[in-house]
Amino acid sequence: MNKGNYAQDLQKLPSAITFKIKTPKFSPKMTKKTIAIISVPSLLLLFLYMAFNKDSIAEITPSTYNLNKETNAFNTLVWADEFNGEGPIDAEKWFLQTQLPPGGSWWGGIIQHYTNRESNTYQKDGCLNLVARKEDFEDQGVLKQYTAARLNSKFAFTYGRIEIRAKLPKGTGTWPAIWMLNKNIDEDGAYWDTKGFGTTKWPYCGEIDILEHWGKNQDYVSSALHNGSSYGEKVKNLGGQKVDRVSDTFHTYTLHWTAEKMVFSVDGVEHLSYAPAIKNADTWPYDMDYYFLLNIAIEPDIDPNFVESPMVVDYIRVYQ
């Protein structure tokens, strides 16, 4: 193999590398001594080939040629937001979802309005600040006492490695989340639904919770998968871990998503792996495009002394 044409040669290789050395056909009449004499030249040829082609042999190994699609394939950055601006968020990347569901309240009994105001969502010092506040705010004919924001990404994708560096809000009753929904979700007011993609109701569309944190259980971070087989308060596909000072220091939250499984971790420490033995529409609606959501919900048991607290995101990066 010509090392100068290594990339071209590599593409021509089969999935397994073998050496073919032509040797005489053996017959039952051959003795062990005869076979040994014939084998020696063959072995010598193999040794000489390896000796004079060390570079090629060393480089073509299972770990470099047969790429493991779970660990090596996702190294190309395909989308990111580093939040390096000042003031409003990048409208080319994000949509602020504000439309209330039927009945005037968001699901799960949460009590805040999501707004499109800069006071709830802005960039500063190289970070996104998504702020939950205690304040009277009327919108869509409904008065509420708390505000926050709910971001939808205008980017959707299937499979990849997601890295998010963030600090989370603090306070009993706060419920921040960074998560994903199938862009086919039928949800009035969601970005992709407004573009005509909404065909499937939750939970059958699928949901990927990269991280959730409840202020009532400070420093415990969890991840979950909602789908037709497991969803809502009885979701079975979940896991979490205690993480030191999530509201005071940045941590890196990672999802590795392949066609076979999903692995969730914080600072490199895994806490959930999901790989159902049977993949069907109920257990694995995760072979389609998903988009990001970032929000802070306020629960009814919010600390009465709560005033405001931000989720601060340094970056979001997607590799494929």
In tens, the pLDDT along 22-52 reads 344 434 334 333 434 444 444 444 444 444 4
Contacts of 274 (CB under 8 A, 6+ apart): 225, 237, 261, 262, 263
The whole-angstrom separation of Cα 182 and Cα 184 is 5
Residue 60 has pLDDT above 80, yes or no: no
284 within domain boundaries: yes
Q: What proportion of the chain, given as a percentage, has pLDDT over 70? A: 78
28 within domain boundaries: yes
Task: Write out pLDDT tens, residues 66-110.
Answer: 334 445 479 999 999 999 999 999 999 999 999 999 999 999 999
What CATH number corresponds to the domain at position 192?
Answer: 2.60.120.200
- Amino acid residing at 127: C
280 within domain boundaries: yes
Q: What is the mean pLDDT of residues 239-251?
A: 98
Give catalytic residues, as residue numbers: 207, 212
226 within domain boundaries: yes
Tell whether 83 and 178 lie within a shared domain: yes
Whole-structure pTM value: 0.78
Tell whether 194 and 225 lie within a shared domain: yes
DSSP string, 254-288: EEEE-SS-EEEEETTEEEEEE--SS-STTT---SS
Q: What is the mean pLDDT of residues 254-264?
A: 98
Range of weakest confidence among 66-75, 106-115, 195-204: 66-75
The Cα angle at residue 213 between residues 209 and 214, in degrees rounded to 5: 130
Strand arrangement, sheet containing 150-157:
94-96, 150-157, 290-298, 174-182, 207-213, 220-226, 238-242
Asked if 139 and 105 count as a contact pair (C-beta separation under 8 A), the reply is no
For residue 32, the model assigns a pLDDT of 38
Tell whether 157 and 271 lie within a shared domain: yes
163 within domain boundaries: yes
The per-residue pLDDT of the chain, averaged, comes to: 84
Q: What is the mean pLDDT of residues 128-134?
A: 98
Grade residue 55 by pLDDT with cuts at 50, 70 and 90. Answer: very low
The total domain count for the chain is 2
70 within domain boundaries: no
**Which contiguous run of DSSP H or E holds residue 220?**
strand 220-226
Task: Write out pLDDT tens, residues 300-317.
Answer: 999 999 999 999 999 999
Tell whether 27 and 108 lie within a shared domain: no
Q: Report the DSSP beta bridge partners of residue 131.
A: 310
Residue 170 has pLDDT above 50, yes or no: yes
Task: Give the length of the chain.
Answer: 320
Tell whether 113 and 212 lie within a shared domain: yes
Tell whether 208 and 117 lie within a shared domain: yes
71 within domain boundaries: no
Q: What proportion of the chain, given as a percentage, has pLDDT over 90? A: 77
For residue 15, the model assigns a pLDDT of 38
**Which residue range forms the structural domain that includes residue 51?**
3-59
Minimal CA–CA distance to 148: which of 306, 18, 292?
306
69 within domain boundaries: no
Tell whether 111 and 230 lie within a shared domain: yes
For residue 73, the model assigns a pLDDT of 78
Tell whether 20 and 167 lie within a shared domain: no
Tell whether 153 and 25 lie within a shared domain: no
Tell whether 15 and 153 lie within a shared domain: no
Tell whether 116 and 148 lie within a shared domain: yes
Tell whether 54 and 102 lie within a shared domain: no
